[in-house]
Amino acid sequence: MNPTLYPDISRPTLLIDPQRVQKNIQRMVEKANTAGVRLRPHFKTHQSAQAGEWFRPFGIQAITVSSLEMAAYFAGHGWKDILVAFPLNLRQINLVRRLSEFIRLGVLVECAGHVEALADAVERPVDVWIKIDSGSRRTGLAWNDSHAVLDLAGHVRQQPHLNLRGLLTHAGETYQSQNPDEVVQRFRRSNQRMNQVRQFLEQNGIDGLEVSVGDTPGCSLSDNFEGVDEIRPGNFVFYDAQMAQLGACREADIAAVVACPLVAFHPERQEAVIYGGAVHFSKDSVTENGIAAYGWAVLLNERGWSPRIPGGALVRLSQEHGIVRLPPEVFSSLTIGGLIGVIPAHVCLTVSALGVYRTLQGEWIETFVRASAPAGRG
């Protein structure tokens, strides 16, 4: 690495390549347009009002978030159509009411308790999506329990301010696929299941419902969006080692890398110690040859960063230390006090852990994590 590169970086710092971000957004926008589905990108990955602006030139107006406070943050930055893709948190029902007064707000329900609390709280229309479990077994009504879905849909339709918008799923099982074909198959199976539920509801008098699906692997790899009205991928804006390993992107599509100071070398065991630990990367991993890697090592350069160093991996994480495994020949090009790049295993968690990032051009991007009230405060 050029030793004069980034003289101002002294701590683990997430760098973003805006050109790659632009291409990633454009690719997904074009795919959605071709398929005739609405792209409602999930903003939980970049978590930033500034980064959100990168989507507007592409005509994006509707977004997804993962918490009500994240909805409030983006509403405060001018987004008018926000879906909170998380089970309704009854302890924040006042925030639901407030948001419904000035934006088009979408929320998820999956039980009568959600519907009743919502109906009691709001005085303006709210879009209601029924959360369906189409195979991931995280949460939602089981796709094959059609009668339960029908009952809940009927319950929603009886409430004055609740606009039953559709059925929503997150086919999280695509992340556990072994290869891209399996991702596509699982995505397709999930979409078919959603349409079976929709059809059953139509046959029983509940019609006009949309189907919303969303996961970056499926939306990146599939070209078949039959029966889908809306997609909600998020990770695709940056991508990461998990997505590249799964084949959901090329390594060259990854737009995020953490620049980490090199603090100690152990070439005898092919390891370098970096300032960059679990509090910076979080602790998600990709598994390679049975070994967990928390990230992939690259060399930083004037244009961004190199392809992955062969075998270069962040193999251990303490609170602040990281241990990077490197081939012996790389050590001669590195110096203690220099920087090395690490592509995170799971960039959404790294963004949240670091709370701020900067572009290759040096612009600092603030996020919700830092801008909002401390997590944990009511």
Residue 354 sits in the site that holds its own copies (CB under 8 A): yes
Q: Is 143 or 225 the residue whose CB approaches its own copies more closely?
A: 143
137 binds its own copies (CB under 8 A): yes
Draw the binding track, 146-165, toward its own copies (x: CB under 8 A; -: no contact).
Answer: --------------------
Q: Are strands 304-305 and 300-301 parallel, antiparallel or unpaired?
A: antiparallel
- Of 273, 293, 297, 334, which one interacts with its own copies (CB under 8 A)? 273
Q: CA-to-CA distance for 166 and 158, rounded, in angstroms? A: 15
Pick from 157, 147, 48, 66: nearest CA to 106 = 66
Least distance from its own copies to the Cβ atom of residue 343, Å: 16
Is 114 a binding residue for its own copies by CB under 8 A? The answer is yes
Of 2, 5, 10, 123, the residue at the interface with its own copies (CB under 8 A) is 10
Q: From the CB of 21, what's the least distance to its own copies, in Å?
A: 18
Interface segment toward its own copies; rule CB under 8 A; list 19-27, 32-40, 136-144, 202-210: 136-144
Span of 4-12, 75-83, 149-157, 224-232 interacting with its own copies by CB under 8 A = 4-12
What x/- string results for residues 36 through 55 when contact with its own copies is judged by CB under 8 A? --------x-----------
Instruction: Read off the tokens for 325.
Output: 């495994």
CA–CA separation, 50 vs 52, rounded Å? 5
Distance CA 288, CA 281 (A): 18
Shortest Å distance, C-beta 38 to its own copies:
22
Quick note: the x/- pattern for its own copies over 328-347, rule CB under 8 A, is -------xxx----------
Structure tokens at 143: 């796709």
Residue 100 binds its own copies, judged by CB under 8 A: no
Bridge-based pairing of strands 13-16 and 256-266 is antiparallel
H-run or E-run covering 142: strand 141-142
Region of 7-15, 154-162, 191-199, 245-253 interacting with its own copies (CB under 8 A): 7-15
- Separation of alpha carbons 364 and 370, rounded Å: 13
Q: What is the DSSP string of 198-239?
A: HHHHHHTT----EEEE--HHHHHH----TT-SEE---GGGT-
CB neighbours of residue 291 within 10 Å:
11
179 burial type by CB count under 10 A (0-12 exposed, 13-18 middle, 19+ buried): exposed
Size of the site for its own copies (CB under 8 A): 69
Residue of 188, 320, 331, 359 interacting with its own copies (CB under 8 A): 320
